[in-house]
Structure 1
Amino acid sequence: MNSIGRGWLFILLFGLVVILLFATRGCGANGDIAGSIEVGPSATTNPGLPYAGPAEPSLGPTQRSRTPERSETETAPDGPTDEPTRANGQPKNTVYVSGDQILPLSAGADDLDAYVGRRATARSVRVQSVVADEGFWIGTAGDRVWVQLIGPPPESPYHVERDDEVTFVGEVVAHGSGFAAEVGVNQEEGSRALTSQGAHIAVRKHDMTLTQR
């Protein structure tokens, strides 16, 4: 074989080697998961994490997961699980003031007058008794808080009765020894308890939702 023929043969062999190298690298790239993200009900491949095995098969068009992504506001609370948060809402039949449960009374709760001036929130709390025109007890006979309605009536008037459920946002307000007589609560209706508590929850009428039974 002359020198020209050997030159062309060398060029052809070199070209084949280059083609084989590119083909090998291409196959390796197709098998690498870097940069791919597969989201499923139980596995997610993150490009920033090392590969930990194959992800489970993705769901079909009619089998997409309906679970919404968790937002930053839906993180689990650090405190008690029954404390009202943006994630789980306030439990029913409870009243909270500044993160403390005051109804039903919790072991660490202070007296109601310790929360004067702070916002109180109630959700689906049972009305224990209605003994005044503009006020009523919520809770139970042995564990109750006085609610005093204030302000103009709402567009849709309501009539509060015993065993109704109320949901509201109000404010803890201090009162003196003459408050019970002022609102029309006698001894049988709980005047002593009302006086000893030294505070009640004032709720504007349009800030309360009533569920009648």
Structure 2
Amino acid sequence: MTDVHPEGLAVAHTRVRARPRLGAPLWLWAIISAVCSLVAVAAFVQWDPLGGAGTVADTDTSAASGLTAGGATLLPLERASGPGGDLSGFAGDTVTAEGVPVQSAPAAAGFWLGTAADERVWVQVLTQPGEAPFVAAGGDRVSFTGVMAAHTDAFAAQVLPGDAAASALLSRQRAHVEVARSDLEIVRS
């Protein structure tokens, strides 16, 4: 369209063309920045963005989960055991430990395996005549293959005399792990 100028000249309007943008739009840079931040955080806290919990890995829990009986993870006990911590349902099953922490070693013939006083399983060490006893201390990590064995209340009192709380826990569990001394190995202390 043209306008007539007062002097009678026709003036054509010139179109001003917008300068083309260079680079990506700002929203695209924001998305790229957010994805990079998420990847950095995921790498730092060991989180699986496709289904993980988003927390820093708990090394004690992950190590304790290396304790299995009949293919089922034993720790934490509340998921594995029956009412009151009853483990007798695993009697006869093969028990495998891979780098599981020793919670305490109150007796020469055995020790508690697990992460806490309420998250532990008794391991009875079976030795052959002339074989050196297995010496473990709290904090050691052990690996072995053994068998879950059912027991009576008398067994708990015999194994842990003088420790009423530990004996009561062992009685409630109604089963313990039996391992030959030759099948035990301290993997890290």
Shift of 1:108: 5.5
Within 5 Å, which residues of 2 pair with 1:126-145?
126-139=101-114, 140-145=116-121
- Amino acid in structure 1 at the alignment position of 2:70: S
Q: Does 1:95 align with 2:67?
A: yes
Give secondary structure in 2 for the equivalent of 1:92.
helix
Over 3 Å counting, the alpha-carbon distance change for 1:189 and 1:212 in structure 2 is farther
- Amino acid in structure 2 at the alignment position of 1:100: A
For residues 143 and 199 of structure 1, the distance between their equivalents in structure 2, rounded to whole angstroms, comes to 14
For residues 134 and 113 of structure 2, the distance between their equivalents in structure 1, rounded to whole angstroms, comes to 17
Structure with the larger RCO, 1 or 2 (CA within 8 Å, 6+ apart)? 2
1 or 2, which has the higher strand percentage?
2
With structure 2 as the length reference, what TM-score do the two structures score?
0.58
For residues 156 and 130 of structure 1, the distance between their equivalents in structure 2, rounded to whole angstroms, comes to 16
Deviations 1:45-100 (A, max 9, x none): xxxxxxxxxxxxxxxxxxxxxxxxxxxxxxxxxxxxxxxxxxxxxx6332111111
> Counterpart in 2 of 1:125?
100
Q: Does 1:114 align with 2:85?
A: no
For residues 191 and 176 of structure 1, the distance between their equivalents in structure 2, rounded to whole angstroms, comes to 11
Deviations 1:17-37 (A, max 9, x none): xxxxxxxxxxxxxxxxxxxxx
* Larger Rg over CA atoms: 1
Q: Is the 8 A contact 1:154 1:206 kept in 2?
A: no
Shift of 1:105: 2.8
Deviations 1:145-172 (A, max 9, x none): 0000003279786521111111010000
For residues 102 and 197 of structure 1, the distance between their equivalents in structure 2, rounded to whole angstroms, comes to 12
For residues 102 and 151 of structure 1, the distance between their equivalents in structure 2, rounded to whole angstroms, comes to 24
For residues 141 and 180 of structure 1, the distance between their equivalents in structure 2, rounded to whole angstroms, comes to 16
Within 5 Å, which residues of 2 pair with 1:42-121?
92-93=63-64, 94-105=66-77, 107=79, 109-110=81-82, 111-121=86-96
Which blocks of at least 5 consecutive residues in structure 1 are unaligned?
Answer: 1-90
| Identity, % of aligned positions | 36
Over 3 Å counting, the alpha-carbon distance change for 1:114 and 1:157 in structure 2 is closer
For residues 131 and 114 of structure 1, the distance between their equivalents in structure 2, rounded to whole angstroms, comes to 26
With structure 1 as the length reference, what TM-score do the two structures score?
0.52
1 or 2, which has the higher helix percentage?
2
- Amino acid in structure 1 at the alignment position of 2:76: P
Aligned length: 123
For residues 151 and 108 of structure 1, the distance between their equivalents in structure 2, rounded to whole angstroms, comes to 28
Over 3 Å counting, the alpha-carbon distance change for 1:133 and 1:158 in structure 2 is closer
Over 3 Å counting, the alpha-carbon distance change for 1:158 and 1:178 in structure 2 is closer
For residues 121 and 197 of structure 1, the distance between their equivalents in structure 2, rounded to whole angstroms, comes to 18
